[in-house]
């Protein structure tokens, strides 16, 4: 792993895809100009709107939004985790919720389809049935890059430590987790779960999140985070504002934590 700057973009995406993609491009460019070599967008950054429009708004990968992100990564010379988009599976099939990783030459390095779908009912606060709208993926995804080995997860995946352990077993040094984590669940669980996943797997975690009142009737938590392998919060976004949070991911910290507390080598149950 190299030492480099990572940036998490915080957005409030809505039903105007062109406006969302334009804002994302502006934020990515701003982060890159400030020195970020890895930039990550939040979950469903390109479009969030009425549930009955989801299949219509889904796109192929490669496709218009993915191609725009690839071109941007190439122009800026950065690694880019393009949040997630709804990936079309053809007529009659629910789309995947898919994140993509592009290299600084614009190449598609990894595609991860969200495995765990968010079905929750908190009376009077939030009710969501993601499984009624989207198909689950099956594959754990980790990719070698010039910056280090990057694992991918999306939002609700955070609650499943076995996924992160499999990413750790695959050699992940950095896990990037685009999210649209809701305010009620985020206030209780966002920070402690992110810190736990970083500590358990002795890796950096970069977690860009949506914020504010969304078009689907609930609030997202914001508070995008960058966390080191010791569980230290290196950067944190606000709870109700767009922006960029960035931090240096120090390869020496990763090496030292894994050397001084080599718990990953002490495992007896797998």
Residue identified by tokens 């002490």 is 266
β-bridge mates for residue 225, sequence order: 207, 236
Tokens representing residue 265 in the block: 């080598």
Q: Are 97 and 154 in contact (CB under 8 A)?
A: yes
What residues contact residue 64 under an 8 Å CB cut-off, 6+ apart?
A: none
Catalytic residue among 23, 43, 57, 59: 43
Catalytic residue among 54, 59, 142, 155: 155
43 is catalytic: yes
Catalytic residue among 54, 59, 87, 114: 114
Residue 116 DSSP class = S
DSSP-assigned states of every residue in 203-270: -EEEE-BBEEE-TTSSEEE---EEE-TTS-EEEE--SS--EEEEEEE-HHHHHHHHHHS-GGGS----
241 is catalytic: no
Residue 42 DSSP class = P
Rounded Cα–Cα distance for residues 78 and 202 (Å): 24
Residue identified by tokens 């985070």 is 225
Distances (CA, A) of 143 to 109, 110, 112: 7, 6, 10
Rounded Cα–Cα distance for residues 154 and 157 (Å): 6
57 is catalytic: no
Catalytic residue positions, numbered? 43, 114, 155
């Amino acid at each position: 792993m190299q030492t480099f700057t990572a940036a998490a973009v915080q957005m409030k995406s809505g039903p105007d895809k062109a406006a969302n993609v334009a804002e994302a491009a502006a934020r990515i460019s701003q982060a890159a100009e400030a020195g970020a070599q890895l930039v990550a967008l939040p979950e469903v950054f390109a479009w969030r709107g009425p549930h009955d429009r989801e299949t219509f708004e889904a796109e192929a990968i490669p496709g218009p939004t993915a191609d725009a992100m690839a071109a941007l990564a190439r122009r800026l010379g950065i690694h880019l985790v393009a949040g997630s988009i709804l990936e079309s599976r053809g007529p009659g099939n629910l789309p995947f919720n898919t994140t993509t990783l592009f290299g600084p030459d614009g190449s598609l390095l990894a595609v991860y389809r969200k495995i765990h779908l968010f079905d929750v009912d908190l009376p009077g606060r939030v009710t969501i049935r993601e499984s009624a709208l989207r198909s689950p993926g099956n594959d754990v995804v980790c990719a070698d890059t010039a910056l280090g080995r990057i694992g991918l997860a999306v939002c609700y995946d955070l609650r499943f430590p076995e996924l992160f352990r499999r990413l750790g077993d695959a050699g992940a040094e950095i896990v990037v987790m685009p999210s649209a984590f809701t305010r009620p669940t985020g206030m209780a669980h966002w920070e402690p779960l992110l810190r736990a996943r970083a500590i358990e797997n002795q890796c950096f975690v970069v977690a860009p999140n949506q914020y504010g009142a969304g078009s689907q009737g609930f609030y997202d938590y914001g508070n995008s985070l960058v966390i080191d392998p010791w569980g230290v919060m290196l950067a944190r976004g606000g709870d109700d504002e767009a922006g960029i949070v960035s931090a240096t991911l120090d390869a020496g910290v990763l090496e030292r934590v894994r050397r001084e507390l080599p718990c990953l080598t002490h495992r007896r149950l797998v």
